[in-house]
Amino acid sequence: MSYDPNNIFAKILRGEIPCDKVYEDEFSLAFHDINPQAPVHVLVIPKGDYVSMDDFTSSAPAALIAGYMRAVGHVARELELVTPGYRMLANIGANGGQEVPHLHIHLFGGKKLGPMLSR
Ligand code: AMP
């Protein structure tokens, strides 16, 4: 799947659409999900044209992969999710239920999250 530069997260990265920003650095941007599924629900996206974890892990430069993953950890610590525990999740493609075709890691926390998958 080729990258669609008009996806909503690309527009957020370009500043064309606002977001409720949590963190930003040269590699990544984190913001609150517009439709939260838990008391804390934050999305962390890389600064680069990657549809999903699939092309990110196969084509992104090592510095971006490292910087992005460090940002995910940093945001979880900043949100004080580590001690109580939290969940990170990335949906990929149709079976994964991915809606926005720009890689994003969801961070969920703030309560006991229950089973990993709904049945
Ligand atoms: P996914 O199903 O993994 O692609 O998740 C996409 C997520 O993006 C959903 O949880 C949406 O609520 C969220 N979302 C969509 N548009 C926005 C937006 N403009 N700002 C913040 N979150 C958004």
Q: Long-range pairs for 51-55 at CB < 8 Å and ≥24 separation?
A: 51/1, 51/2, 51/3, 51/101, 51/102, 51/103, 52/1, 52/90, 52/92, 52/93, 52/98, 52/101, 52/103, 53/90, 53/92, 53/103, 54/92, 54/93, 55/3
Domains of the chain: 8-109 (3.30.428.10)
Atom of ligand 1 nearest to the CA of 89: 3
Give the position, in ligand 1's atom list, of the atom nearest the Cα of 12.
19
Which tens digit of pLDDT belongs to each residue from 45-104? Answer: 999 999 999 999 999 999 999 999 999 999 999 999 999 999 999 999 999 999 999 999
Q: What is the pTM of this model?
A: 0.97
What's the pLDDT tens digit per position in 2-49? 999 999 999 999 999 999 999 999 999 999 999 999 999 999 999 999
Whether 41 sits among the annotated catalytic residues: the reply is: no
Whole-angstrom distance, CA of residue 61 vs CA of residue 39: 33
